[in-house]
Chain A
Amino acid sequence: MSDATRHGVVLVEDDVRMRRRIASAVETEPRLMLRCAVGSLAEGRAALEREKPDVLLIDLGLPDGDGVDLIRAARHAWHDLRILVISVFGDERTVFRAVQAGADGYLLKDGSPEGIAGAIVELIDGGYPLSAPVARYLLRFVQSGVDAHTATDGPGAGQRVDEHPLTEREIEVLKLFARGFNTGEIADLLGLSPHTVIALGRNIHRKLDVRSRAEAVYEAVALGLIRMPE
């Protein structure tokens, strides 16, 4: 496989051993090519400018700042960039904060090298349409009927919207993602091809405008506007 068809990866991780571990995981995957592995926000920003990669792997706790800032800037500058947050715990708060800024998903730090590489490839293939935590909150939003866009500001704050743009099938898929099923399992359960599930996931993503909604949902949950449907 030539360099041209391989997907460029920039890694920003301050812990040297961890950086090495993830770097080697990336290098084991022939479809990926590690362009640059750096340890600070400033270097990461420079590397993004220089390398224009396809994938950004980034730790949030960096010595010179919060990785979320770089995610936000990168998302703004390069719409097609795939961004994965490197997380120790995969806790939903961290993941949601990252998604809010524009990340596509997360990697667990102690994942096996194959696991890490696999997750990246899956993301590139569009197989990472919805992480379970994100799906959970989108579902809450859809079921509560509160339009998260108007939940926190504007004259129609907190008003109910009985219409949401999702089809029955999409809601079904969203529910399954929210319960932790992966793409393959959902495909099996619904008797669909994995590609269809991925496409449905992408639709949900697009229709609910996940990234711009993430912040509103986050705020709405924090304000107690969105609760579990009862």
Chain B
Amino acid sequence: MRRRWSFWRALAVSSVLAFAGCGPPPEAHVLRTADFRFVPAPNAIGSAELPQPPSGAERRSPVTLPHRWSAQLQGSAGTGWYRVALPQTDATGTPNAMFLPRVSSNAVVYLDGEWLGDGGSFGEAVARNWNRPLYFPIAPGRFAGTDRTHTVEVGVQGMGSLHDGLGPILFGPDRALRAYHVRALALQIGVAQVATLLSAVAALLFGALWAGLRREPVYGAFALAAACFCVNSLNYHVQTPPMSYWRFEWLVNVALEWFCACFVSLVLRLLALRRPRLERAAWLYAAGVSAVGLALPGPAFDRVAPWFHLVSMAIAASCLLAIVMHRDRLSRPELVAYVITGCVMLPVMAGDLATQIGVLPSTSLRLFPLVGAVMFVGFGAALMLRFLGTYRLAQQQNLELEARVAQKRAELEEDFRRLRVLERERAVGDERERITREMHDGLGGHLIATLALAEGNDERIAEALRDALDEMRVVIHSLDPWIDDVPGLLVATRARLEPRLASRGLRLRWAIGDLPPMRLGPSTSLQVLRVVQEAITNVLKHAAARTIQVRTATGHDGRRILVEIRDDGKGFDQNFASGYGLSNMRERARRLGGELEIEPGPTGTAVRLWLPTEPTDSV
């Protein structure tokens, strides 16, 4: 906080110093009295010739400088002649100079009747020097004569505008006045040129931004405001406009009204306020002033223009008030920029206006271009911040969008992959169904028909046929997409084998418990089916049992399940136990990622198949 204060204090002190340096050098004589004579020339414009001082006999009236014509000569164009006696100077051997800080609109200077210098064209269009200090060096030789008194005639060409007249005349050593002139030129003309340049750059920059971002009219409003300001700022430094004097005056005055209208639009958009009527009124006002300016003769418009400006200024002031009132709609840096700009701009505009209408002395420094430069830097920076913010937001949204697109694409790919898997499964399923149907209607039918023939004739053939049918059913059940878990396989096995168990008088004890969910592929199903089938078939063929129990259970760790086939027969057939059958079953269990346990005993045998609950379909 302290640092900020010290910054502002330093700024204030340095600006005071800068303006303090503006006073005339002490060595110079400030001449404030003159004999004045006005030569009206309402239609004189057009003659490129230098006006000549009138002959000495005519009547003159004494005036005090700075002298404004507007009081007596309202709207009259012509040449005002000021005769001034130079103070006696001893420094005739060194270069001297004359300096006219304020002349409107152009001046020619005669020293002792001899042309000393002029401010440019006196024809159409007359050089506009109202804000340009004129400086005329006097060579040492000019005072070489014996005469100690010297007279200067300053002919001021006025166009009948409000600020026609002459400021004080400075006379003194060239060295001091030259430096003073350079400084004054920089302050009055240089600053205005910088303002023109800055506003032109701002207009182009934001115009380009607007062209790219049509949906952000705030940049467009700013670009237009900058362009209007740019035109207005030409008033302060353009000496020879590329058009008639009054056309140019009209242009720069009107540009200020349009600038205010743009400013209203800009502020409304900055604050995201919708006041279409207010906006339209501002534009209509600018248009109306422009039309009035076209209708009125140049000098008349020049006289009323300050009052129009006053209205515009009030509008601009109310805009700044609106900014303060709706400050919550702006980011902090933006708000600071606007408020500072406004606080500097309004008093300066008021001061310039006061100078223009004669309330303040005509020699007062016109600060409006300087303030304009400040404003464009302030507003431009704030708008750039805004643009950067928008850009960053857009970039962030872009990234989010990209992420979402990537996610959607991944989802789509995943969907597509799933669809392909489903498609493939369906194709495989259809093929399996076709094969199953063929086996069902063809081979199956034949086997059953043959079984019917063999039954009662040759029980061994019948048995073999039943085995074949069983085998076929095992394969078909393993391929059945509807049978995809262990209970399903056991249910199918029961349906398949129960008639045969019943025909052998074997009692089936069914003890299938709740099992953790696990899905089995066809090849796993086939292995499980074969192990169970083989275990039961073995009981059927060899065990001479009365009861067979099929039981399931879940392991303690929940990671594997048990399928147990237990009988109450005389035990395993030795051939089977030691031979191919058992090792075959073990091998199948191993391939399933499980384990086969045999618990033989005199009162029955238990075959236990342990299976992992994690699906392994590597077989």
Q: What is A's interface to B at a CB cutoff of 8 Å?
A: 15, 17-18, 20-21, 61, 87-94, 96, 108-112, 115, 132-133, 136-137, 175, 178-182, 185, 221-222, 224, 228-230
Contact check: which of B448, B484, B485, B510 meets A181 at CB < 8 Å? Answer: B510
Ordered by A's residue number, 16 sampled pairs between the chains whose C-beta atoms are within 8 Å are A88-B448, A88-B469, A89-B472, A91-B436, A91-B473, A91-B477, A91-B483, A92-B482, A93-B481, A96-B482, A112-B502, A115-B499, A136-B487, A178-B487, A180-B487, A228-B519
Given A61-B441, A90-B473, verify A179-B491 contact (CB < 8 Å).
Answer: yes
Structural contact, A17 and B449, CB atoms closer than 8 A = yes
Q: Is B546 an interface residue (CB 8 A)?
A: no
Structural contact, A93 and B499, CB atoms closer than 8 A = no
Contacts of B440 in A (CB 8 A): 61, 87-89, 91, 94
Chain A proximity of B429: nearest CB distance (Å): 9
Contacts of B494 in A (CB 8 A): 132, 180
Contacts of B481 in A (CB 8 A): 93
Nearest CB in chain B to that of A15: its residue: B445
Contact check: which of A20, A61, A90, A181 meets B495 at CB < 8 Å? Answer: A90
Q: Is B548 an interface residue (CB 8 A)?
A: no
Chain B proximity of A59: nearest CB distance (Å): 9
CA distance A20 to B513 in the complex (A): 40
Nearest CB in chain B to that of A179: its residue: B512
Contacts of A181 in B (CB 8 A): 510, 512
CA distance A179 to B472 in the complex (A): 23
Nearest CB in chain A to that of B448: its residue: A109
Contacts of B492 in A (CB 8 A): 90-92
Structural contact, A180 and B510, CB atoms closer than 8 A = yes
Chain A proximity of B183: nearest CB distance (Å): 83
Contacts of A15 in B (CB 8 A): 445, 448-449
Contacts of B485 in A (CB 8 A): 228
Q: Which of B421-438 contact A (CB under 8 A)?
A: 422, 426, 433, 436-437
Apart from A18-B448, A115-B502, A181-B512, what are 8 other A-B pairs with CB-CB below 8 Å? A91-B482, A132-B494, A133-B482, A180-B495, A222-B426, A228-B485, A229-B517, A230-B517
Structural contact, A89 and B487, CB atoms closer than 8 A = no
Structural contact, A18 and B452, CB atoms closer than 8 A = yes
Q: Is B534 an interface residue (CB 8 A)?
A: no
Chain A proximity of B558: nearest CB distance (Å): 13
Number of B residues with CB within 8 Å of any CB on chain A: 45
Structural contact, B499 and A110, CB atoms closer than 8 A = yes
Contacts of B386 in A (CB 8 A): none
Contacts of B466 in A (CB 8 A): 110
Contacts of A185 in B (CB 8 A): 510
Structural contact, B491 and A180, CB atoms closer than 8 A = yes
CA distance A178 to B483 in the complex (A): 12
CA distance A91 to B433 in the complex (A): 11
CA distance A61 to B440 in the complex (A): 9
Chain A proximity of B379: nearest CB distance (Å): 55
Q: Is B503 an interface residue (CB 8 A)?
A: yes
Contacts of B451 in A (CB 8 A): 110
Chain B proximity of A219: nearest CB distance (Å): 13
Given A89-B472, A92-B482, verify A18-B491 contact (CB < 8 Å).
Answer: no
Nearest CB in chain B to that of A176: its residue: B512
Contacts of B519 in A (CB 8 A): 228
CA distance A222 to B481 in the complex (A): 10
Given A91-B476, A136-B491, verify A21-B452 contact (CB < 8 Å).
Answer: yes
Contacts of B453 in A (CB 8 A): 17
Contacts of B437 in A (CB 8 A): 61
Contact check: which of A111, A115, A180 meets B490 at CB < 8 Å? Answer: A180
Contacts of A88 in B (CB 8 A): 440, 444-445, 448, 469, 473
Please provide the 8 A-B residue pairs with the shortest distance between their CB atoms, ordered closest to farther: A88-B444, A92-B482, A180-B491, A61-B441, A228-B517, A179-B512, A132-B491, A17-B449
CA distance A96 to B473 in the complex (A): 17
CA distance A229 to B519 in the complex (A): 11
Structural contact, B480 and A92, CB atoms closer than 8 A = yes
CA distance A89 to B484 in the complex (A): 16
Contacts of A178 in B (CB 8 A): 487, 491
Q: Which of B505-532 contact A (CB under 8 A)?
A: 510, 512-514, 517-519
Structural contact, A110 and B469, CB atoms closer than 8 A = yes
Q: Is B496 an interface residue (CB 8 A)?
A: yes
Structural contact, A89 and B499, CB atoms closer than 8 A = no
CA distance A94 to B451 in the complex (A): 22
CA distance A61 to B441 in the complex (A): 6
Nearest CB in chain B to that of A14: its residue: B445
CA distance A102 to B78 in the complex (A): 118
Structural contact, B491 and A89, CB atoms closer than 8 A = no
Q: Is B62 an interface residue (CB 8 A)?
A: no
Given A132-B491, A175-B514, A180-B510, verify A92-B499 contact (CB < 8 Å).
Answer: no
Structural contact, A90 and B502, CB atoms closer than 8 A = no
CA distance A198 to B118 in the complex (A): 127
Structural contact, A224 and B510, CB atoms closer than 8 A = no
Structural contact, B448 and A110, CB atoms closer than 8 A = yes
Chain A proximity of B516: nearest CB distance (Å): 9
